[in-house]
Amino acid sequence: MENKKKLVQEKYGQIAKDSSEPVKKAGCGCGCDDSFTIFSENYYGKEGYSPVADLGLGCGIPTDFVHIRKGDIVIDLGSGAGNDCFVARALVGEEGKVIGIDMTREMIELARANAEKLGYKNVQFRYGDIENMPVTSKKADVVISNCVLNLVPDKDMAISEICRILKVGGHFCISDVVIIGNLPEAIQNAAEMYAGCVSGALQRDKYMELIAKMGFINTTIHKEKEIFLPDEVLKPFLNETEIKAFRDSGTGIFSITISGEKPAKGCVCCGT
């Protein structure tokens, strides 16, 4: 697990350092060419959107579906350069607060610099793991996350922590990558494809079961989109025959945006 965390920290730390170069806005962490934004969605025109904070690393727009209200406390898991935090800030208003959590120090530094440039006083960024968040229990009205949980080794603990930091009746909205079928072994074992949000993704059914197991209610999938991996992304790991077999296997890689609510009785992880 620690090796995976170190891999992600190194990869995304480098992306943060190189964020001034457009080629790095690849829509994933796999080092792909920017001629295809594999996962990313278009934020243009959304209130609060700041292009300087958009590194193209998301796979959805969770703020579109989460019903954030004025005055809410929103926590963004894996906040990167601050993109979703700044969009959430426009929704909570001056009376609300947004907290971004990221385990990559370079991303935290970049996000803080972006917030300072934009003059935001009610957006805060904290360094820490999603499996052990630097946040008190029952703090958040809303938790959001964009293409990050697939990068977390202990997903059970991450979902448990979402439960812990949510207020009773609070809700989450997560955009993430899931798999239907089986990835080729070479893809599963490729460090680059783990950092690129592919090989660390759960099976779709298992993902849904994990959320249900924790006790969340009113779970809804708002959006589901199949992701096509170009041959150029697969060729470092698969030969032409293996690529064809992968295409013919029926295996699918999907981005989903899902929401759920913490019930009055609490979740399995943290009781009442």
pLDDT in the model for residue 33: 42
Q: Per the domain annotation, does 181 fall within a domain?
A: yes
The total number of structural domains in the chain stands at 1
Q: Provide the β-strand partners of residue 254.
A: 178, 226
What is the per-residue DSSP string for 127-155? E-BTTB-SS-TT-EEEEEEES-GGG-S-H
Domain that residue 108 falls in: 2-261
Q: Per the domain annotation, does 266 fall within a domain?
A: no
pLDDT score of 24 more than 50:
no
Q: What would the pLDDT profile of 129-180 be if each residue is shown by its tens digit?
A: 999 999 999 999 999 999 999 999 999 999 999 999 999 999 999 999 999 9
**Confidence at 195, pLDDT banded by 50, 70, 90:** confident
Can you state the percent helix, strand and coil of the chain, rounding each to 5? 35, 25, 40
Q: Per the domain annotation, does 54 fall within a domain?
A: yes
Q: Per the domain annotation, does 120 fall within a domain?
A: yes
Q: Per the domain annotation, does 178 fall within a domain?
A: yes
Q: Tell me how many degrees the CA angle 210-212-216 measures, rounded to the nearest 5.
A: 120
Which tokens belong to 155? 């997903």
Cβ–Cβ under 8 Å, residues 175 and 255: yes
Q: Per the domain annotation, does 272 fall within a domain?
A: no
Cβ–Cβ under 8 Å, residues 55 and 81: yes
How far is Cα 70 from Cα 31, in angstroms, rounded to an integer?
38
Helix axes 155-165, 204-213, angle to 10 degrees: 40
Q: Per the domain annotation, does 38 fall within a domain?
A: yes
217: CATH? 3.40.50.150
Distance of CA 30 to the CA centre of its chain: 15
Q: Per the domain annotation, does 267 fall within a domain?
A: no
Q: What would the pLDDT profile of 88-130 be if each residue is shown by its tens digit?
A: 999 999 999 999 999 999 999 999 999 999 999 999 999 999 9
